[in-house]
Structure 1
Amino acid sequence: MQWHFTVPPQLKKKYHKPFKMRRLSLKTTIDITFLVIVVCFAMLAYSIHNRSQSVKQNRIIVNHTSNINSVLEKVLSSTIDIETGTRGYTITGDENYLEVYNHGHKNLEIWIDSLRSMNETDELQIKKLDTLEKLIDSKKKISAMVIQARKESGMEKAAEIVKKGRGKEVMDSIRKSIRDYQNQAVLILTENLSQTEENVKARNNNFFLFTGITFIILIFAYIKIRQTTQRLLLDKIIQENLMDELTIQNQQLNDFANITSHNLRSPASNITALIATIEENSPVEEYRMIFDMLKKVAQNLNDSLNQLMEVLHIKKNKIVEKELLAFQEIFSKITESLQGEILKSGAIIKADFKEVQEIAYSRIYLESIFHNLISNAIKYRAEDRTPEITIRSERKNNIVYLYVIDNGLGIDLSKNGHKVFGMHQIFHNHPEAKGIGLFMTKTQIESMKGKISVASEVNIGTTFTVMFGT
């Protein structure tokens, strides 16, 4: 985009006075602006990394606590086996009960050793385990005395030992000790789950803060760049030497701003949708699943921002770098970044790239094409049926084609066909509709010497056909 200014003579005279203070050049303003953005992004990435590490550590603690509780249950079960075997043998004299008794003995040794290995670095837990083990040893001794008395002196002698109540007292103490042990483990588990939720909230707040700061900086930079451009155009020599550079840089900035403002909405809404699926009483497995999805969305957002930043380094010749890209890889990345919307809509997406698996193309353009066509298919879905989206590649006459087919609301082409790919053209009421996505997609495809066409029926669905340039 080029700007043309008509400056009154009195303003020319005013602006041609010598400057008392040196003003920043347009290039310096851009460099400073995006340096600030990069610094903000680095801070966000660092914060997300720290929060992720904290979540990972809490997950380990949760798993460890769960294992401890499970082993404690087995310790109590094995102690009950000893008591049951002792009582059964005392009453009946049937030595089959001694097998239950001996089995409990063996298992107790295994579970106690397991507890020690799981708490070997925690002195407080080791002390509690020592106390529990002493109680269990007392229970073993009392049980052994009862069994020996039953064998040597009969049931009456064994019953006298039981009537003293020492065995019951020790067993109650064992139950209380294990219950206290488990209650403390549950308390630790609750605290860590609370910390995990706080870390997720903090990470999301940091992301939204970064997004807001980035847009504010871009708006401020855009205003400052226009002001600087107007000043520079007053000088004929500077205008002749720098006009081409200014035009290219502003075109790149506008392209970057449009792509960023359009593509960042989807990750932001997906993160919000994923977080909304978690409730305070959600199970740990659901937290893990959502955290994994959030990691993928955050990583894809990170990659997209890095690639968008590279747009600003395109030189005057506007060479768009191509690389060999796998359709499946790009498809997987985009669907991961749209995971929240896919879950929310219940969309079924099928992809078949068997006929053509790879293409030499601009990565940022191909990802943008997939993102816009898939997100539009989800956005303009029909509410009375499950959204179904089919994507496939094809080669005809040595030309690669990509088809994106949906069963959504469709477009009345007889009425709006000539406006489908126009800027700010909207055909359905939707709060997020901006009329930019298809315009950007068409521009990107045609800049790579390709074409895009559409076939659609109202309330039946739409098919977009992308013909990639050779």
Structure 2
Amino acid sequence: MKKISLKTSIDLTFAVFLVAFVVLAYSTYNRAQSVHHNRLIVNQTSNINTVLEKVLSSAIDIETGARGFTITGDTSYLEVYKTGDKNLAVWIDSLHSMNETDALQLQKLDTIKRLVESRKIISAHIIKTRKEEGMEQAVSIVKTGRGKEVMDSIRASISSYQNESVRILSKNLSETEENVRARNANFILFVIIAFIVVVFAYVKIRQNAKQMVFDKIIQENLMNELTVQNQQLNDFANITSHNLRSPASNITALISTIEENSTVEEYQMIFEMLKKVAQNLNDSLNQLMEVLHIKKNKIIDKELLPFQEIFSRTLESLQGEILKSGAIIKADFSQIAQVEYSKIYLESIFHNLISNALKYRDKVRIPEINIRTEKKNGNIFLHISDNGLGIDLEKNGHKIFGMHQIFHNHPDAKGIGLFMTKTQIESMKGKITVSSEVNVGTTFTVMFVP
């Protein structure tokens, strides 16, 4: 048998190598295309869930606008209703275009459209009744609970829609992970074959060979991105629940002050307070939407803000808690009357620090809160002091501004306010400090950097 020459052996080896390379390259290409396809599905699923949230938000706007107009007769609520109605059509059309080839999702979308139309009809009927027959007739329609049933059905349908999207997303993420593993396996196999060929062909020329293997996993990057998005949603949910909880509790507190023998003047006074709290609640909702815009664009608008105006708005939104506690609140802005700052952030700072002073008051003495401003070393300082329960700084000082940190047993304590306040202040290059003594009181000092 004729011995195969080295040249022939090298030629045959490289021929095998070339065939293996083509096969592996083709397989890797197919896997990469599959990964790309699944990426598109992941992106589409994320977009669909985002639009679904906007559909729900617009439906809530319709409900809120109708209910607000029914209760107050304020026509500004009709703008909320009209905006929600207009946006709904846009988001529903967007969902339809995103799911043109998915019969199951289109069927769910039809269900949502029918429920939304029912909600719009009910809201339109309530508004018409309020205009033509008065608040009592409109409220009687609301009390039937039909509108609530439809909204609950809308939420359930959207949740089902989202769950199906998440299921599809999970399936495609699993397929993507398998394709990535298969592609990496192909890559490793290719490296092994190449290594064997190089060693066989050049063993007499080169005695030493080094192998380098590079491994990059796409799935890890995708999961990191989803984790960041989930954290942003969680942070916004915490901020929203914290900012809206106080106006809601104040409304409850104001209503609880009304008794059977209350005079007409007392009713009128409470109603005026409720109107202010409701207006501030509506402003808070608008401001939270502005927070999203700011966070997205990373631009924080500043304006010249009078401290007295922000302070007065804060007291209006906390009227219920102030009446309930009998708190004495004094403010002195004579040294520094205004500051150039973000309005959203400054209102949040006042609200969080004053509401905390009311929330953690000492039950055995009348709450006293003193607020003043001063200017020192070119910086503006805001001091908010109380005579409440105080904080053991030696024990808890290092975690006082941490997320979900609670130092007193209070049913409404969530550990969000101080964390959010510190984050907002530091985003404006400022600083917040605290001094406190247990059973004596607490002073928060905010430094505004020009």
**Aligned partner of residue 446 in structure 1, secondary structure:** helix
Question: What CA distance in whole angstroms lies between the structure 1 residues aligned with 2:225 and 2:233?
Answer: 12
Aligned to 2:128: none
Aligned-residue Cα RMSD (Å) equals: 4.5
- After TM superposition, the structure 1 stretch with the greater mean CA deviation from structure 2, 45-54 or 364-373, is 45-54
Question: What CA distance in whole angstroms lies between the structure 2 residues aligned with 1:435 and 1:50?
Answer: 36
Which one-letter code corresponds to 1:448 in the other structure?
M
Describe the shift of the 1:217–1:264 C-alpha distance in structure 2 as closer, same or farther (beyond 3 A). farther
Which one-letter code corresponds to 2:276 in the other structure?
K
Indicate yes or no: 2:298 matched with 1:299.
no
CA displacement at 1:36 relative to structure 2: 2.0
CA displacement at 1:461 relative to structure 2: 0.5
Question: What CA distance in whole angstroms lies between the structure 1 residues aligned with 2:293 and 2:424?
Answer: 17
Question: What CA distance in whole angstroms lies between the structure 1 residues aligned with 2:414 and 2:284?
Answer: 20
Describe the shift of the 1:230–1:381 C-alpha distance in structure 2 as closer, same or farther (beyond 3 A). farther
Aligned to 1:41: 61
Which one-letter code corresponds to 1:390 in the other structure?
N
Indicate the structure (1 or 2) with the bigger Cα radius of gyration. Answer: 1
Which one-letter code corresponds to 1:453 in the other structure?
T
**Aligned partner of residue 346 in structure 2, secondary structure:** helix
Match of 2:70 among 38, 41, 50: 50
Q: How does 1:67-106 map to 2 (within 5 A)?
A: none
Aligned to 2:22: none
CA displacement at 1:252 relative to structure 2: 4.2
Aligned to 1:429: 409
8 Å contact from structure 2 (residues 45, 165) kept in 1: no
After TM superposition, where is structure 1 displaced by more than 3 Å over at least 4 residues in a row? 12-25, 213-252, 314-317
Match of 2:254 among 243, 249, 274: 274
CA displacement at 1:226 relative to structure 2: 11
8 Å contact from structure 1 (residues 352, 391) kept in 2: yes
Q: How does 1:237-252 map to 2 (within 5 A)?
A: 250=230, 252=232
Q: TM-score, normalised by structure 1?
A: 0.57
8 Å contact from structure 2 (residues 239, 416) kept in 1: no
8 Å contact from structure 2 (residues 385, 443) kept in 1: yes
Aligned to 1:374: 354
8 Å contact from structure 2 (residues 52, 158) kept in 1: no
Q: Report how many aligned residue pairs link the two structures.
A: 318
CA displacement at 1:267 relative to structure 2: 0.9
Indicate yes or no: 2:27 matched with 1:27.
no
8 Å contact from structure 2 (residues 45, 166) kept in 1: no
Question: What CA distance in whole angstroms lies between the structure 1 residues aligned with 2:390 and 2:307?
Answer: 25
Question: What CA distance in whole angstroms lies between the structure 1 residues aligned with 2:155 and 2:298?
Answer: 25
Question: What CA distance in whole angstroms lies between the structure 2 residues aligned with 1:220 and 1:261?
Answer: 25
Question: What CA distance in whole angstroms lies between the structure 1 residues aligned with 2:242 and 2:271?
Answer: 25
CA displacement at 1:317 relative to structure 2: 5.1
Aligned to 2:437: 457
Aligned to 2:16: none
8 Å contact from structure 2 (residues 379, 447) kept in 1: yes
Q: How does 1:193-342 map to 2 (within 5 A)?
A: 228=169, 250=230, 252-314=232-294, 318-342=298-322
Which one-letter code corresponds to 1:380 in the other structure?
Y
Aligned to 1:445: 425
CA displacement at 1:451 relative to structure 2: 0.9
8 Å contact from structure 2 (residues 333, 373) kept in 1: yes
CA displacement at 1:441 relative to structure 2: 1.0
CA displacement at 1:450 relative to structure 2: 1.0
Match of 1:391 among 347, 358, 371: 371
CA displacement at 1:45 relative to structure 2: 2.9
**Aligned partner of residue 54 in structure 2, secondary structure:** helix
8 Å contact from structure 1 (residues 365, 444) kept in 2: yes
Match of 2:381 among 401, 406, 409: 401
Question: What CA distance in whole angstroms lies between the structure 2 residues aligned with 1:430 and 1:214?
Answer: 31
Question: What CA distance in whole angstroms lies between the structure 2 residues aligned with 1:267 and 1:223?
Answer: 36
Structure 1 gaps of 5+ residues are: 1-11, 55-193
Q: TM-score, normalised by structure 2?
A: 0.60
- After TM superposition, the structure 1 stretch with the greater mean CA deviation from structure 2, 290-299 or 26-35, is 26-35
**Aligned partner of residue 303 in structure 1, secondary structure:** helix
Describe the shift of the 1:20–1:467 C-alpha distance in structure 2 as closer, same or farther (beyond 3 A). closer
8 Å contact from structure 1 (residues 412, 456) kept in 2: yes
8 Å contact from structure 1 (residues 378, 387) kept in 2: yes
Question: What CA distance in whole angstroms lies between the structure 2 residues aligned with 1:361 and 1:24?
Answer: 39
Which one-letter code corresponds to 1:50 in the other structure?
T
Per-residue CA deviations over 1:116-152 (Å, capped at 9, x if unaligned) read xxxxxxxxxxxxxxxxxxxxxxxxxxxxxxxxxxxxx
Question: What CA distance in whole angstroms lies between the structure 2 residues aligned with 1:13 and 1:46?
Answer: 50
Per-residue CA deviations over 1:11-35 (Å, capped at 9, x if unaligned) read x999888799998442342233034
Question: What CA distance in whole angstroms lies between the structure 2 residues aligned with 1:218 and 1:363?
Answer: 35
- State percent identity of aligned pairs: 63
Describe the shift of the 1:23–1:317 C-alpha distance in structure 2 as closer, same or farther (beyond 3 A). closer
Per-residue CA deviations over 1:53-87 (Å, capped at 9, x if unaligned) read 39xxxxxxxxxxxxxxxxxxxxxxxxxxxxxxxxx
**Aligned partner of residue 463 in structure 1, secondary structure:** strand
Describe the shift of the 1:18–1:361 C-alpha distance in structure 2 as closer, same or farther (beyond 3 A). closer
Which one-letter code corresponds to 1:400 in the other structure?
I
**Aligned partner of residue 385 in structure 1, secondary structure:** coil
Question: What CA distance in whole angstroms lies between the structure 2 residues aligned with 1:219 and 1:333?
Answer: 41
Which one-letter code corresponds to 2:399 in the other structure?
K
Describe the shift of the 1:247–1:306 C-alpha distance in structure 2 as closer, same or farther (beyond 3 A). farther
